[in-house]
């Protein structure tokens, strides 16, 4: 049996430029891996089997782990395998948990089959599965453009630590983008959109769908210096403060996470 950490990510800033002809949105975002992690177990088996500690998560083709296995096998020989997902990352929070699981699966399968694929190939395979998947092949911090699949290495001046605030409800990424209004997008100059800018262009659309999120952010801002939604929500990362006692909100401490090298996983 082999096990691998599968980290969550934050979007330290998230700028949406426009909707593309292919239906995706052109973005500029600083992605950051954090120490909130799932763990995936890979066990040789007579037949493929995917299991998960969270019974609400499907283990069919809707699961990106299943799609990653099929994608890798379409390009390289891979015997039957059992994959168990030990879930810690909340779903529909904007943490990219499913995308991280897919990237971890591609990395693990490549190692277990003798590394037939280069990192560049794994990134390309990941991009075919989901826009956030390629990021996890970075060293843990990346300036991402395109639909998120174009990576530019980035190094934070110092590690970040804070708290995650996850309300007990989620948001659909598809629904958030569907409700995104061009007139509500940031007009920030791209040359100025660099760390330490903290903002998220998706907040307005998310708040319109779920007004409780706007109320939650205002309450969090009474206790933290910086409060920004990650991804399409519903979670926020909070810096410079301590979490209050709030009903229906789970607070989790976090710190930034990085890979030791491009040859080793998290």
- Secondary structure percentages of the chain, helix, strand, coil, to 5: 25, 30, 40
Among 38, 87, 132, 217, the active-site one is: 132
| Catalytic (active site) residue 9 | yes
To the query of whether residue 132 is one of the catalytic residues in this protein, the response is yes
Catalytic residue among 9, 87, 166, 217: 9
Using the 8-state DSSP alphabet, how is residue 89 labeled? S
Q: Report whether 35 contacts 134 (CB < 8 A).
A: no
Conformation bin of residue 136: beta by default, left when phi > 0, alpha when psi is -120 to 50: alpha
Q: Are strands 2-19 and 199-200 parallel, antiparallel or unpaired?
A: parallel
Which of 216-225 are b and which e, b meaning 16 or more Cβ less than 10 Å from the residue's Cβ? Answer: bbeebeebbe
Spatial distance between the Cα atoms of 252 and 26, rounded to a whole number of angstroms: 31
Residues labelled catalytic: 9, 132
């Amino acid at each position: 049996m082999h096990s691998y950490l599968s980290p969550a990510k934050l979007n330290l800033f998230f700028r949406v430029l426009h909707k593309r002809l292919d239906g995706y949105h052109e973005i500029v975002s600083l992605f950051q891996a954090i120490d909130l992690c799932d763990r995936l177990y890979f066990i040789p088996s007579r037949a493929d089997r995917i299991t998960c500690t969270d019974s609400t998560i499907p283990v069919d083709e809707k699961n990106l782990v299943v799609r990653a296995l099929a994608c890798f096998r379409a390009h390289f020989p891979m015997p039957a395998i059992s994959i168990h997902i030990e879930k810690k990352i909340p779903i529909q929070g904007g943490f990219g948990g499913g995308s991280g699981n897919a990237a971890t699966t591609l990395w693990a399968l490549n190692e277990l089959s003798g590394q037939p694929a280069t990192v560049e190939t794994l990134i390309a395979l990941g991009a075919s599965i989901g826009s956030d998947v390629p990021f996890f092949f970075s060293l843990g911090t990346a300036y991402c453009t395109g639909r998120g699949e174009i990576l530019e290495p980035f190094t934070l001046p110092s590690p970040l630590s804070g708290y995650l605030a996850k309300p007990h409800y989620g948001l659909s990424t598809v629904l958030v983008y569907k409700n995104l209004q061009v007139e509500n997008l940031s007009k920030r100059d791209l040359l100025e959109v660099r760390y330490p800018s903290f903002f998220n262009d998706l907040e307005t659309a998310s708040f319109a769908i779920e007004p409780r999120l706007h109320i939650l952010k205002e309450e969090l801002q009474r206790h933290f210096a910086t409060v920004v939604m990650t991804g399409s929500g519903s979670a926020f990362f909070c810096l410079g403060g301590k979490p209050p006692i709030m009903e229906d909100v789970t607070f989790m401490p976090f710190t930034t996470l990085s890979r030791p090298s491009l040859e080793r996983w998290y």
